Amino acid sequence: MTVSTVPLEKLGGGKLLIDREIKEYVRKYRMLEPFSEHLNSNGVISWGLSSMGYDIRIADEFKIFTNVWNSVVDPKKFDEKSFVDFKGKECIIPPNSFALARTVEYFRIPRNVLTLTMGKSTYARCGLIVNVTPFEPEWEGYAVLEVSNTTPLPAKIYANEGIAQVLFFASEEPCEVSYADRKGKYQKQQSIVLPKI
């Protein structure tokens, strides 16, 4: 079976940035910092620049979900009491639960770039799923990560090590209206920000 592909030119000229282009965008736009030009993998879950993306790290601040106070999770009325705050080198996520965290890296997404983020295979093979929404053009801040433990056992994640890979897609032209233009509610977030309406 052959897979047909649509040429990028027919999709408006967008393209996935490769390693040397990511470096150029970091130099030109300060797209993410701190930035490592190499994949760091000596005894840790890898992080840094890869062939066609950047492996981000998870910081040491966590909000671990607990269902002690709520019977319904409501994004319009999310109660901060639903979380236990924790800071440390390792975080244990309870069975069938999740934790929120933030990236070590601070992002400044250029006006012609959109990102997609995928969890690392090391954690996926342990039943841990990382969910991150796209970083929109001209969004800026620390990214909030959601790490779900899909297993019936407690699961450990390691702070200041790799957690997910960000892919950067660049268009030939900037968007008409950016995240900054419409004053997005998560613009320039500095911490683990809970759902807002």
The verdict on residue 165 lying in a domain is yes
Asked whether residue 35 is assigned to any structural domain, the reply reads yes
Note the pTM of the prediction, 2 decimals.
0.89
Buried b (16+ CB within 10 A) or exposed e, 157-171: bbbebbbbbbbbebb
| Residue 137 domain flag | yes
Confidence grade of residue 111 (pLDDT, cut at 50, 70, 90) = very high
163 lies in some domain: yes
Structure-block tokens of residue 191: 């911490």
Residue 193 in any domain: the answer is: no
**Rounded Cα distance, 185 and 187, in Å:** 6
Phi, psi of 30, deg, nearest 5: 50, 45
On whether residue 77 sits in a domain, the answer given is no
Q: Tell whether 184 is covered by a domain.
A: no
Give the total number of structural domains in the chain: 1
Domain with residue 20: its CATH number is 2.70.40.10
- pLDDT tens digit string along 167-177? 999 999 999 99
Q: Quote the domain boundaries for residue 24.
A: 13-68+83-170
User: Cβ neighbours of residue 155 under 8 Å, at least 6 residues apart?
Assistant: 92, 93, 95, 126, 127, 128, 149
Please give the torsion angle defined by the CA atoms of residues 11, 12, 18 and 20, in that order, rounded to the nearest 10 degrees. 170
- The answer to the question of residue 161 being in a domain is yes
What amino acid positions are annotated as catalytic residues?
A: 146
Q: Are 81 and 69 in contact (CB under 8 A)?
A: yes
The band of 69, judged by pLDDT with boundaries at 50, 70 and 90, is low
3 state DSSP class of 25: helix
